[in-house]
Amino acid sequence: MEYFLTAARLQHMTMASKELNITQPALSHSISKLEHELGVPLFERSGRNIQLNRYGMMFVKWVEQALDNIRNGMQEIEEWSHPDTGVVSISYLNILGVDLVPTLVRDYQIRYPQVRFELKQGNNGDINNHLEQGRSDMLITSKETTTDHHEWLVIEQIPLYIVVSSRHRLADRPSLKLDDLSGEPFVELKNNCGLRNSILSRVQNSSFTLDSAYDAEDLATVAGFIKAGLGVSVLPKTPGLMLEGLVWIPVLEEGWFWEVGLTWRKDRYMSPAAKRFVEYVGHSSSARIAETLS
């Protein structure tokens, strides 16, 4: 296409071949091949002088448009992938959109103001599909959702609490063991919630048996059921869940926290823009964890 436009502009095969830095026979062969594919001649020839015929004049405007579109496409890819101006596509669990994700995006754009974010939220099944189908660069989710072909980077470890209604008989306890909830109706999460596997893995390592009374779609619904006095549960103390009428009681057993982080496919291409965001999250998370430990 570029050879054709150069020949059309200069109307001389030798001059065109010199500008393109190819031999004149190679240029002639390329033009002849193009004419053969189209089934019509594009030039009137007089020695090495050439002139567009009516088919050539018809075709040249479409070739110019096509090459403009290709250049625009290349420019758009460059802008989307460049670490300073690119787009970072993230899918995340619904509850993390209340505080964690907006904070990460805000802090990152303070440092890199031209970077844009493409954000999608959903339950565990939704966001996993986004990653597997290549619609997102990465997920912000819980560790238990990762698999062998995923990379994992911790963002934070959120303490888990036993949550009861302020009217519950255990509401005045300073701390509780899981065994203390035996016989209590437990508000459980459905399979599509990222926290469910985290809670179940810890319950399996204890003598406590879940007495499931309700299956909720998301964490906010769990909090609402507890507030109404329909049961108790275990939740992370995060914005969006701390409703009036709830009591948050520390768990006496060790290891009761929800590990939230970034995950992405090891075997997928990651743009420079996405890589820089991962590096930023890694540095900021390390600093936050070190500050917590100190």
* Same domain assignment for residues 61 and 93: no
51, 79, 107 — which closes off a domain? 79
The CATH number for 123's domain is: 3.40.190.10
The percent helix, strand, coil of the chain (3-state, each to 5) is: 45, 25, 30
52, 79, 106 — which closes off a domain? 79
* Same domain assignment for residues 142 and 114: yes
The CATH number for 69's domain is: 1.10.10.10
Identify which of 42, 39, 49, 38 has the alpha carbon closest to the alpha carbon of residue 16: 49
Residue indicated by tokens 């990762």: 146
* Same domain assignment for residues 150 and 273: yes
Residue indicated by tokens 């075709």: 59
Burial (CB count within 10 angstroms: exposed 0-12, middle 13-18, buried 19+), residue 250: middle
- SS3 call for 60: helix
* Same domain assignment for residues 226 and 279: no
Structural domain including 63 reads 2-79
* Same domain assignment for residues 58 and 193: no
* Same domain assignment for residues 264 and 254: no
Query: Within 13 Å and on the Cβ side, how many CA atoms surround 54?
Result: 0
* Residue 158: strand pairing partners: 258
79, 107, 142 — which closes off a domain? 79
* Same domain assignment for residues 22 and 51: yes
294 residues of the chain, pLDDT tens digit each: 999 999 999 999 999 999 999 999 999 999 999 999 999 999 998 877 899 999 999 999 999 999 999 988 888 888 778 889 899 999 998 888 889 999 999 999 999 999 999 999 988 888 999 999 999 999 999 876 677 788 999 999 889 999 999 999 999 999 998 888 888 898 988 765 667 777 776 776 666 666 777 888 788 889 999 999 999 999 988 888 889 999 999 999 888 888 899 999 988 888 999 999 999 999 887 666 555 545
The pLDDT score that the predictor gives to residue 79 is: 78
* Same domain assignment for residues 65 and 91: no
The pLDDT score that the predictor gives to residue 293 is: 47
Count of domains for the chain: 3
* Same domain assignment for residues 167 and 254: yes
Ramachandran angles phi, psi of 284, nearest 5°: -70, -35
CB 20 within 8 A of CB 27: yes
The pLDDT score that the predictor gives to residue 209 is: 66
* Same domain assignment for residues 170 and 251: yes
* Same domain assignment for residues 204 and 219: yes
The pLDDT score that the predictor gives to residue 214 is: 82
Tokens of 186: 């437990």
Helices assigned H by DSSP within the chain: 2-10, 13-20, 24-38, 54-81, 100-111, 124-132, 194-203, 219-227, 272-293
